Amino acid sequence: MSENYMELLKQKIDQENLDKLLALKNEEVINFVGEYVELCNPASVFVRTDSEPDRAYIRGKSLSGNEEIPLKTKGHTAHFDGFFDQARDKKNTKYLAVGDRKYTKYVNTVDKDSGLGEVRGYLKDIMQGKEMFVCFFCLGPANSEFSISAVQITDSAYVVHSEDILYRPGYEQFKGVKSEFFHFVHSAGELEAAVSKNVDSRRVYIDLENNTVFSTNTQYAGNTVGLKKLALRLAINKASKEGWLAEHMFVMGVHNDQGEKAYFCGAYPSMCGKTSTAMINGEKIIGDDIAYLRERNGKVYAVNVERGIFGIIKDVNSTDDAVIFNSLTKEGEVIFSNILVDNDGVPFWLGKDAPLPSKGINYSGDWSPGKVDDKGNEITPSHKNARYTISISALDNVDENLENPDGVEIKGLVYGGRDSDTSSPIEQSLSWEHGIITKAAALESETTAATLGKEGVRVFNPMSNIDFLAVGLGKYIDMNLRFKDKLKDAPLIFSANYFLRDSDGKFLNAIEDKRVWLKWMRQRVDKSVKALKTPTGFIPKYEDLAQLFKTVLNKEYKKDDYIEQFSLRIPKIFAKIERILKIYKESEGIPSQLFDELEAQGQRLSQCQKEFGDCVTPQSFKEE
């Protein structure tokens, strides 16, 4: 350990907090903290342990610093990001590139020396006059083969408060850490009205060689909460070396008629129904966002990396999302971000089944109906990407295996997107390889407000993970394909699409219909129902869905609806195959198996088209 750092730490850290740091007996941690105390030059340093007093200190700092404001309901607070700091910043999120290492062309890179020089320039004295928080967390359940330790340095109490809700405490576990761990350095930068002022200097730079992420001049959690998507990038890199998978997936339990659970993982891009699926009434949730998957004894096991939810709140209401709505409206620890707060301290968001307040405050400041920005665009009362942060244990449907260090056995993988005109609501792949290629690696989704840029554009997003890949696209697909080599009992693979529309633009599925699609997947896992084999996969039989709609939703399921939803739109599928092939032909290192699988599907579709025409109804296919 550098003696210079030790002298510096003695000057910057009071004895109580220095003792907390030294108690870890980890030279790498002490040097890491020392380096950024020297660079960022905070006025003081707080070292957070796993204790409740330390948690309370952070919560108090977030309120006293106006990063959060208290709401009417006990335990609820609201946080506002800056007007131009409302989503993940793809443009300024970059890997620090070294040598000839291959990255996917869908992510940004910057030369490591140049990028480090830039971001360290922003970090120089950035915490002057502020308090630095040094915090320790665990990704995955503690004391598990899934566990990864992480240390977060930040000057934002809101970031730490969010992480306290979202992640397991990791200070005590750090005392035994001998292997590599993840490092995160963040500063909100200069503040104006308690939000980041210099968003033009917003940077998120990722150093894979040193497992370190730097984030500057931003507060939005997707750019600042290091253990979320930033850590996912580091984990994918680690998994690629060690033979497991780090995925953008929920983990949930789905019951059969006998009340027995089978666990599923699901990958959906933002605003495609991922969290609402994981939280469906009557089923059990382990996690809604990120999962680690490992093989054990020929089976797949998974854990939720997190213990909380940073969820999109738009359209959450008491009818369609009863579980989460109940948790968001009762006493307990919840952070609302970028919603509208009325004069009584009650939060309002888009889609909430409550009257719109006549005025209040939101991410734009004081708000009333008709307010516009400097370009004349209406400022909605709540941002489309407004969020809530809540502990999963606060939900009524939390699964008892949330903290199981062994994880849960996974029986099905679901890949869902936002597709208005091509894919059926649910379909099972013909095989693992067929699923990984045509359901996962070929995933597309129409863009939403969760990322900066234009909405409604169809975007290629394999495994819903394109933004977070830390390895080449070909290597990532190969990792998923080869994962089956270890398995004796591979999960079934499904695609899901809740956003199919008719020619008039009307959705063909009701929001609650996803409960039925899940139950059908559960039946397929149990091998309790047959299916119809199409060129693109197995689809449900009408009789089975009609029975499920009746028993699950007490609804009549019309045959005409079934035909419209599950007809094979061959020209649309061919168009998709062409789009996907073009992308992969322009990419390096793609496994030949991908092209073989897509070509085989094209041949099956051509034969089907010759026999039945462009739009093939389900009755044309045979049961298998």
CB burial readout 435-464, b (16+ within 10 A) else e: bbbbbbbbbbbbbbbbbeeeeeebbbbbbb
Helices and strands (H, E) in the chain, number of each type = 18, 36
DSSP state for residue 82 in the 8-state scheme: -
What is d(CA 94, CA 110) in angstroms, rounded to the nearest whole number? Answer: 6
Of residues 161, 296, 248, the one with CA closest to residue 476:
248
Angle between helices 592-612 and 570-585 in degrees, nearest 10: 160
Residue 389, class by beta-carbon neighbours within 10 Å (0-12 exposed, 13-18 middle, 19+ buried)?
buried
Place of tokens 């006990």: 74
Backbone angles phi, psi at 228, to 5 degrees: -85, -120
Q: Treating both helix axes as pointing N-terminal to C-terminal, what angle do 52-64 and 157-166 enclose, rounded to 10 degrees?
A: 140
Residue 272 catalytic? Answer: yes
Burial class (CB in 10 A: 0-12, 13-18, 19+), 603: exposed
Q: What is the chain's percent helix, strand, coil content, to nearest 5?
A: 35, 25, 40
Collapsed DSSP state (helix, strand, coil) of residue 179? coil
71: DSSP letter: -
Distance CA 379, CA 397 (A): 35
Residue 148 sits at the vertex; the CA angle it makes with 144 and 149, to the nearest 5 degrees, is 115
Active-site hit among 40, 138, 265, 272: 272
Q: Is 577 helix (H, G, I), strand (E, B) or coil?
A: helix
Contacts of 615 (CB under 8 A, 6+ apart): 567, 568, 569, 570
The helix (H) or strand (E) run that includes residue 15 is helix 15-22
Strands of the sheet containing 334-337, edge to edge, are 69-70, 76-79, 334-337, 387-391, 308-312
Active site residues: 272
